[in-house]
Structure 1
Amino acid sequence: MESKMDLGTKAYDQVEKINQVNQKLVQQLNNGTYGPNEIRQRVSQITNEKIDSSTEIRLPFYTDFGRNLHFGKNVFVNAGVMITDMGGIYIGDNVLIGPGVTIVSVNHRIEPSQRRNLNLKSVYIHDNAWLGANVTVTPGVVIGENAIVAAGAVVTKNVPANTMVGGVPAQVIKTIKGEN
């Protein structure tokens, strides 16, 4: 689902207020020395949702907004991940996110006079998906259940369940067979 956000509106001003608080929290998180429980507590402050004790987030961890980021259970987020979540990022259970992954739900408008305004499209990463190192997921993409995105891929289209994709832009490599 796409929505628009324009500079100078009430909604944009509210985002800026949250950003002022959350960017300080992100900086503190990445400049401190914390154990797994403390990391989850601090990310819970940023997202305004409790991060389940089964989820592990390695530092550094970056988000531009934080309040539209939703983690399932038993998620593993490796170091150096950047999540641009203003449009909404939904991460299911048992998801693996490799180092250096970028997940983006925000884009700028094409028209030069509107370039600083935003288009927002949610990203959904379904249960048991695996994003390899340095993957980029673009706005509006859905990664299906059990899907694998190979390292370095740029995902611009939905990835079906039980499918492996790779490349720039990502293309289907193969279907993943279920366990026997």
Structure 2
Amino acid sequence: MNNIFERDLNGEMVSPNDQGYDELITDIFDTMKTATEMNTGYKTPAEVHEYMKRILGKPLDESTTVLPPFYVDYGKPVTIGKRCFIQQCCTFFGRGGVIIGDDVFIGPKCNLITINHDVNPDNRSATYGRPIVIEDKVWIGINSTILPGVKIGYGSIVGAQSVVTHDVPPMTIVAGNPARTIKKIEINHE
């Protein structure tokens, strides 16, 4: 049987009654403590990278910028590519897994949420995760929310204050709540 961290990442239902749940919650609080330390007072880019290494459990590429404050429940299942720019006040619920490609821009106050609750009201405290995948060269506008299981295709743009509930095809602009296709991105190479 998988441990609770593997079950969580595999998208299985995880309940406070499950064996290992206390360990999961302890890791979440440890991650949040590290993020709070990073978010308190001014930190140099090098200091932010050190904190992010602790949060992610792996180094953040030197070419990537994260502007605190940055809020995260669990960072180990989060992978962030090269030359990314993540603005301040973003929230990542990373338990279900987040993969961010290269050259991704994430505006201020964006939310990447990989966790959902059981629809059964008698089991509402149980959660399950679905990964979020953001391919290379995506731009996510200010105050947007990406919901569990969504994949945002290469080069796409998510308009400000959008709630993305479904996959976004490559080279597409989406906006709204729920986000809908606005248009395809056409590149003129004259």
Which TM-score bucket, shorter chain as reference?
over 0.9
2:27 corresponding residue in structure 1: 18
Q: Give yes or no for the alignment of 1:120 onto 2:129.
A: yes
Distance 2:12 2:170 in 1: 26
Task: Check the 8 A contact 1:5/1:11 in 2, yes or no.
Answer: no
One-letter amino acid of the counterpart of residue 88, structure 1 = G
SS in 1 for 2:32: helix
1:43 corresponding residue in structure 2: 52
Indicate which of 149, 152, 162 corresponds to 2:158.
149
2:40 corresponding residue in structure 1: 31
Q: Give yes or no for the alignment of 1:5 onto 2:17.
A: no
One-letter amino acid of the counterpart of residue 175, structure 2 = G
How far has the Cα of 1:179 moved from its partner?
A: 5.0
CA RMSD of aligned residues (A): 1.2
Gaps of 5+ in 2: 1-9
Task: Check the 8 A contact 1:3/1:121 in 2, yes or no.
Answer: no
In the TM superposition, structure 1's runs of 4+ consecutive aligned residues that sit over 6 Å from their partners are none
Q: Where in structure 2 are the equivalents of 1:71-90 lying within 5 Å?
A: 71-90=80-99
One-letter amino acid of the counterpart of residue 146, structure 2 = V
The percent identity for this pair of structures is 33
Q: What TM-score, normalized to structure 2? A: 0.91
Distance 2:121 2:180 in 1: 31
* Residue-by-residue CA offset, 1:29-88 (whole Å, 9 max, x unaligned): 111321111101101101101000000000111001111111011110001100111101
SS in 2 for 1:40: helix
SS in 1 for 2:49: helix
Q: Count how many residue pairs are aligned between Structure 1 and Structure 2.
A: 180
One-letter amino acid of the counterpart of residue 163, structure 1 = T
Distance 2:185 2:170 in 1: 9
Moved more, 16-25 or 88-97: 16-25
2:148 corresponding residue in structure 1: 139
2:69 corresponding residue in structure 1: 60
Q: What TM-score, normalized to structure 1? A: 0.96
Distance 1:161 1:16 in 2: 36
Gaps of 5+ in 1: none
Task: Check the 8 A contact 1:5/1:120 in 2, yes or no.
Answer: no
